[in-house]
Structure 1
Amino acid sequence: MIRLEGVTRRFRSAAGERTALDGVDLEVARGEVFGVVGRSGAGKSTLIRTINLLERPDAGRVFVGEREMTALNAGELRAARRRIGMIFQHFNLLDAKTVAENVAFPLRLERRPAAEVRARVAELLDRVGLADHARKHPAQLSGGQKQRVGIARALACGPDVLLSDEATSALDPETTDEILGLLDQLNRELGLTIVLITHQMEVVRRVCDRVAVMADGRVVEQGATADVFLHPQHAVTRSMIAETDALDGLDEAAPEGTRRLRLTFRGATTYGPELSQVARETGVDVAILSGRIARIRGEPYGQMLVSMSGGNAEAAVARLTERGVAVEAV
């Protein structure tokens, strides 16, 4: 649905030239929720703004559907943007207009008939849970309600793609979860392709099918969300995950005669007795140093840091692997 080929974007100022995007290649499949994560200054927001050409690349090509966005003239680009909705961190609502008028705004720009606008606005406000707030102004709404208005407005013209630029970073955790639940619902019910920019790793884990990790204007790692989170390959990815998901017990070296292992369970094995059964079968002693159970895009997983000694440790590792447990030496 979205393809970036060698996209480069540079910014020039009195202080010199800065490369925000450095030859980025990226593909987003139709109907998936794709996360882009990275620290401040990594190039995330610039990347998402190149998709609808709010930022025009200095080099490279951008495709949305079958259309090359970078090859369109001004009129063609305006038409193409109607199929791409966008929601923002700070809502960008018109304070002097009501909730209904904010949602109607893009439809009125298209000169849609008044009756069609009223029906579409009512439909969208009902979908985002704001049917009873149509006549209120943004100042009368909570942060989560404002973002729901922003989502309804982004959906007004019936887009195929929804771009979310840090849409939850100004919200509290409970409201963030509600907005992510709404985005997940829209993806499943409408088949929307969603590109979600964030620095919050929990956001990616909650709703994204795949994820790309950015650093210094480049994509340094990408793949299925579960694979990237549970088996990160790049130092930037490991560092970001460790800040929120750190497994304790790594400060000291493992005692002589013991093996320290990270065990990753996915799906049905998460709740199974694999570790205790293997310990009995191989005679190893296992000390659990830390662990957690959670979900990535609805799939359960568990990770444990264990210390293993005695018995047949090699056989224990082999049998855990046979049972679908990923085993990594630490």
Structure 2
Amino acid sequence: MISFQSVGKTFPRAPSPALEDVNLDVVAGEVFGVIGQSGAGKSTLIRLINGLERPSLGRVLTDGDNVGDLDADALRALRRRVGMIFQHFNLLSSKTVAANVAFPLRVAGTPRDQIGARVAELLDLVGLSDQAAKYPAQLSGGQKQRVGIARALANHPRILLCDEATSALDPQTTEQILDLLAHLNRELGLTIVLITHEMEVIRRVCHRVAVLDAGSMVESGEVAEVFLHPRHPVTRRLVADAAGLAAAKVEGGPPTLRLTFRGAATFEPILGRIARDTGVDYSILAGRIDRIRDEPYGQLLVSLVGGDVALARARLTEAGVRVEEA
């Protein structure tokens, strides 16, 4: 659905490229996350998808179109197939909720007698049917973002771009918006590209993720693999901060191991059973049990002492636990 082919982007008078040699593909129907700290190039990358920026090098293909080659008319046609929601909502303060959602329909020339029905359908989809006559100032942050989502869906897009869509929201509202995006992905088959600096957002809704650092893509893959077994130092730092497993090493003590349990194994007493069988004592230094999308997982940082540590490690691996030096 979206393909970046050796893409670079340089802005005039900027000391370094905003993006450099980025290669990635987004598959139709998936939720693809892009994560990185401020200044990593995330916003530039997402704006290349719908032609708000043009690549300096390489090609960006969106829904079959080479974005850099499109003239004004073709670009407008592409943007009707690519909805976008923003961190700060970008609603028209002087228009009602219904008028905000209707705005892209009017711009696209939708017949007047069809606009009302489409607006009602969209407001029902995002749970705001009873807010149609209100103005943005009368809404909560979560309600404003739902209006933004309804507006982005007005012209039946095939792709939805989310530019830090939850960064201005409190944790509970963030969960509600992410649940809504996951629902839209499942029910409408939308391809969603979501950029964020929060690993928890990626963990909750994305199928795959790319990690950006200083304009370069340093790691990518299935969310579970990247989240649970990060390879690049930038990714390891993002994951450790999100999981609360950053500072658990005991200096001068036995080696610290990271044990990863997935699926049903998350809830089985594997560690205790193997410790008894091998005579090993263990200390749990940090840990977490949670979910990546719908799959449960657990991660423990442990130290093993006494008994047959090598046998314990082998038995853990045989039981489907991934054992790594932390």
Place the TM-score, normalised by the shorter chain, in its bin: over 0.9
Structure 1 counterpart of 2:165: 167
Q: Is the 8 A contact 1:34 1:210 kept in 2?
A: yes
Structure 1 counterpart of 2:194: 196
Structure 2 counterpart of 1:294: 290
Segments of structure 1 that go 5 or more residues without pairing to the other structure are: none
What does residue range 61-210 of structure 1 map to in structure 2 within 5 Å?
61-210=59-208
1:262 aligns with 2:258: yes
Deviation, 1:8, is: 0.9
The amino acid of 1:314's aligned partner reads A
Output the CA distance in 2 between the equivalents of 1:73 and 1:18: 28
Q: Is the 8 A contact 1:50 1:62 kept in 2?
A: yes
Output the CA distance in 1 between the equivalents of 2:86 and 2:232: 29
1:280 aligns with 2:276: yes
Output the CA distance in 2 between the equivalents of 1:219 and 1:36: 9
Q: Is the 8 A contact 2:249 2:285 kept in 1?
A: no
Output the CA distance in 1 between the equivalents of 2:92 and 2:256: 56
Deviation, 1:110, is: 1.4
1:31-55 per-position Cα deviation (integer Å, ceiling 9, x unaligned)? 1101000000000000000000101
Q: Is the 8 A contact 2:123 2:132 kept in 1?
A: yes
Q: Is the 8 A contact 1:254 1:260 kept in 2?
A: no
Structure 1 counterpart of 2:315: 319
The amino acid of 1:87's aligned partner reads I
Q: Which secondary structure does the structure 2 equivalent of 1:19 belong to? A: coil
How does the TM-score come out when normalised to structure 1?
0.96
Segments of structure 2 that go 5 or more residues without pairing to the other structure are: none
Output the CA distance in 2 between the equivalents of 1:250 and 1:179: 33
Deviation, 1:250, is: 3.2
The amino acid of 1:91's aligned partner reads F
Pair 247,82 (structure 1): closer, same or farther in 2 beyond 3 Å? same
The amino acid of 1:10's aligned partner reads T
Structure 1 counterpart of 2:215: 217
Identity %, equivalent residues: 62
Deviation, 1:192, is: 0.4
Deviation, 1:253, is: 2.3
Q: Is the 8 A contact 2:30 2:191 kept in 1?
A: yes
Pair 159,140 (structure 1): closer, same or farther in 2 beyond 3 Å? same
The amino acid of 1:302's aligned partner reads G
Output the CA distance in 1 between the equivalents of 2:16 and 2:325: 40
Output the CA distance in 2 between the equivalents of 1:102 and 1:308: 60
The amino acid of 2:92's aligned partner reads L
Output the CA distance in 1 between the equivalents of 2:27 and 2:249: 41
Output the CA distance in 1 between the equivalents of 2:31 and 2:66: 21
Deviation, 1:249, is: 6.0
Structure 1 counterpart of 2:240: 242
Q: Is the 8 A contact 1:10 1:17 kept in 2?
A: no
Structure 1 counterpart of 2:28: 30
1:13-48 per-position Cα deviation (integer Å, ceiling 9, x unaligned)? 3xx543101111111111110100000000000000
The Cα RMSD (Å) is 1.3
- 174-183 vs 275-284, which moves further: 275-284
Q: Which secondary structure does the structure 1 equivalent of 2:17 belong to? A: strand
The amino acid of 2:3's aligned partner reads R
Output the CA distance in 1 between the equivalents of 2:43 and 2:94: 28
Q: Is the 8 A contact 1:259 1:309 kept in 2?
A: no
Output the CA distance in 2 between the equivalents of 1:281 and 1:320: 11
Output the CA distance in 2 between the equivalents of 1:122 and 1:245: 41
Output the CA distance in 2 between the equivalents of 1:329 and 1:22: 32
Output the CA distance in 1 between the equivalents of 2:228 and 2:150: 34
Q: Is the 8 A contact 2:249 2:256 kept in 1?
A: no
Dislocated runs of 4+, deviation >4 Å:
none
Deviation, 1:243, is: 1.9
Q: Is the 8 A contact 1:248 1:289 kept in 2?
A: no
The amino acid of 2:200's aligned partner reads E
Structure 1 counterpart of 2:3: 3
Q: Which secondary structure does the structure 2 equivalent of 1:253 belong to? A: coil
What does residue range 52-67 of structure 1 map to in structure 2 within 5 Å?
52-67=50-65
Output the CA distance in 2 between the equivalents of 1:215 and 1:280: 44
